[in-house]
């Protein structure tokens, strides 16, 4: 019996070892497989060769925009007498050249300018206010000379023609404040009339009030707005030429279109970009190396020296280079296939 028990015990140990040994081996293999990177390969990586590609860049930059409104005004008259007619009504737009009222049957005409006239102007006058007068007369078709701020013969003849047309006498070479009313820096909309036919007016009498109106689109620039070429401003698909550093757009039609595109908002975002996109070279960022000395370069093969470059921009995953490098051979995976990554 003792012999039989020993025999059975031996057989059990043999069977157990026979079963356990393969399990241990399989477990070891499994652990090795689990710890091995799926990216490991039995063969060395191959060099990937490409070329510097061509790309078009417009250097687009986001900017903040805001609608600016003019303050409500009360244009006045310097004329003395009786209002014989009123030519505007609430809701009407008054522009340079609009007849606002007549006083003693002489027309009082609106004009827009950055500053108002402050004196009557006659032959020999000079200054910034003469330029205002010359621009007004030119806009109305009475004057075709230079806007030079000097009231000479040509400007005087234009004033005489204007005065005769408006009821201020013939051969009158003085542009009188009583014939004009300043409406501010741009077109305005009449809110309420303050005078009516039959009213008496004197110097400084307000003729009507205006509603707040669109003045400009104010642009808040960032330091990376392009300043070395012609650029465009775009707000919700409304596009206009833009002068870097000016901070505003004042063209009435563009201002109105951009304000309308913003809906009920008075602030929003736009973009500034090159009117003519530039061509650059571009490579994957993996192709460039920055060595220990801070030099940036790319390689053309696995053994040659590096080509030093200056980066000029880029996007996610790519870097822009000078256009002169377009077509140049470039090693796309230098870190995987080169031992020497120094640019020098």
Give the pLDDT confidence of 167-211 residue by residue, as tens digits: 999 999 999 999 999 999 888 899 999 999 999 999 999 999 999
Instruction: Count other Cβ atoms within 10 Å, centred on residue 274.
Output: 18
Our CA angle for 247, 252, 256, nearest 5°, is 90
| SS3 (DSSP) at 133 | helix
Cα–Cα dist 95/187, whole Å: 5
Q: Is the pLDDT of residue 17 over 50?
A: no
**Window from 30-39, 43-52, 78-87 with minimum mean pLDDT:** 30-39
157's enclosing H/E stretch is: helix 153-166
- Pick the residue with more confidence: 344 or 227? 227
Our CA angle for 108, 113, 116, nearest 5°, is 65
Question: Beta partners for 64?
Answer: 220, 269
At 32, list the tokens: 């090795």
What is the mean predicted confidence (pLDDT) over 224-253?
94
Give the pLDDT confidence of 265-315 residue by residue, as tens digits: 999 999 999 999 999 999 999 999 999 999 999 999 999 999 999 998 888
Parallel/antiparallel/unpaired status of strands 106-111 and 180-182: parallel
**What percent of the chain is predicted at pLDDT more than 90?**
78
| SS3 (DSSP) at 339 | coil
| pLDDT confidence of residue 69 | 87
Instruction: Count other Cβ atoms within 10 Å, centred on residue 255.
Output: 22
Q: Is the pLDDT of residue 14 over 90?
A: no
Cα–Cα dist 119/125, whole Å: 10
**What is the CATH class of 76-210?**
mainly alpha
Q: Is the pLDDT of residue 257 over 90?
A: yes
Beta-strand runs (E) in 9-98: 49-51, 53-57, 61-69, 76-77, 81-86, 93-94
Residue 16: band (very low, low, confident or very high) from pLDDT cuts 50, 70, 90: very low
**What percent of the chain is predicted at pLDDT more than 70?**
88
Q: For CA atoms 133, 138, 141, 143, give the dihedral sign.
A: positive
Residue 42: band (very low, low, confident or very high) from pLDDT cuts 50, 70, 90: low
What is the mean predicted confidence (pLDDT) over 153-157?
97
Q: For CA atoms 6, 12, 18, 24, give the dihedral sign.
A: negative
Dihedrals phi, psi of 101, to nearest 5 degrees:
-145, 170
Q: Domain extents for the chain?
A: 49-56+278-337, 61-69+213-274, 76-210
Nearest to 185 by CA among 120, 96, 108: 96
Q: Which residues contact 291 (CB under 8 A, 6 or more apart)?
A: 297, 306, 341, 342, 343, 344
Cα–Cα dist 108/180, whole Å: 5
Q: For CA atoms 110, 114, 116, 119, give the dihedral sign.
A: negative
Q: Is the pLDDT of residue 6 over 60?
A: no
Q: Is the pLDDT of residue 30 over 50?
A: no
Nearest to 239 by CA among 278, 271, 264, 277: 271
| SS3 (DSSP) at 106 | strand
| pLDDT confidence of residue 152 | 96
Are 48 and 332 in contact by the 8 Å Cβ rule? The answer is yes
Nearest to 156 by CA among 115, 205, 122, 197: 122
What is the mean predicted confidence (pLDDT) over 243-272?
94
What is the mean predicted confidence (pLDDT) over 331-344?
93
Cα–Cα dist 283/302, whole Å: 17
Name the average pLDDT for the chain: 87
Give the pLDDT confidence of 70-117 residue by residue, as tens digits: 888 999 999 999 999 999 999 999 999 999 999 999 999 999 998 999
| pLDDT confidence of residue 281 | 94
| pLDDT confidence of residue 145 | 95
| SS3 (DSSP) at 197 | coil
C-alpha distances in angstroms, 183 versus 55, 166, 190? 51, 18, 10
| pLDDT confidence of residue 20 | 37
């Amino acid at each position: 019996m003792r012999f039989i028990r020993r025999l059975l015990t031996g057989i059990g140990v043999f069977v157990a070892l026979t079963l356990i040994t393969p399990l241990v081996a399989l477990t070891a293999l499994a652990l090795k497989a689990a710890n091995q990177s799926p990216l490991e390969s039995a063969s060395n990586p191959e060099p990937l060769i490409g070329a510097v590609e061509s790309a078009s860049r417009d250097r687009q930059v986001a900017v903040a925009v805001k609608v600016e409104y003019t303050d409500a005004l009360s244009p006045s008259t310097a004329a003395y007498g009786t209002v014989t007619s009123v030519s505007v009504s609430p809701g009407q737009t008054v522009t340079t050249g609009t007849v606002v009222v007549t006083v003693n049957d002489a027309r009082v005409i609106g004009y827009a300018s950055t500053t108002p006239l402050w004196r009557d102007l006659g032959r020999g006058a000079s200054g910034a206010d003469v330029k205002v007068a010359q621009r007004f007369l030119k806009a109305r078709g009475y004057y075709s000379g230079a806007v030079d701020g000097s009231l000479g013969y040509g400007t005087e003849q234009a004033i005489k023609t204007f005065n005769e047309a408006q009821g201020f006498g013939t051969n009158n070479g003085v542009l009188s404040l009583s014939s004009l009313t300043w409406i501010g820096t741009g077109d305005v909309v009449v809110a309420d009339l303050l005078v009516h036919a039959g009213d008496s007016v004197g110097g400084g009498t307000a003729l009507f009030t205006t509603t707040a109106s669109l003045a400009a689109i104010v642009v808040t620039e960032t330091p990376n707005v392009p300043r070395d070429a012609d650029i465009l401003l775009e707000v919700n698909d409304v596009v206009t030429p833009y002068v870097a550093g000016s901070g505003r757009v004042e063209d009435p039609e563009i201002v109105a279109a951009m304000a309308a595109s913003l809906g009920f908002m008075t602030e929003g975002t736009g973009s500034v970009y090159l009117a003519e996109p530039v061509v650059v070279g571009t490579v994957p960022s993996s192709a460039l190396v920055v060595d220990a000395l801070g030099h940036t370069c790319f390689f053309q093969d696995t053994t040659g020296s590096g080509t030093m470059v200056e980066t000029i921009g880029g996007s996610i995953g790519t870097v822009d280079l000078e256009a002169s490098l377009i077509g140049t051979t470039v090693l796309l995976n230098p870190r995987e296939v080169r031992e020497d990554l120094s640019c020098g």
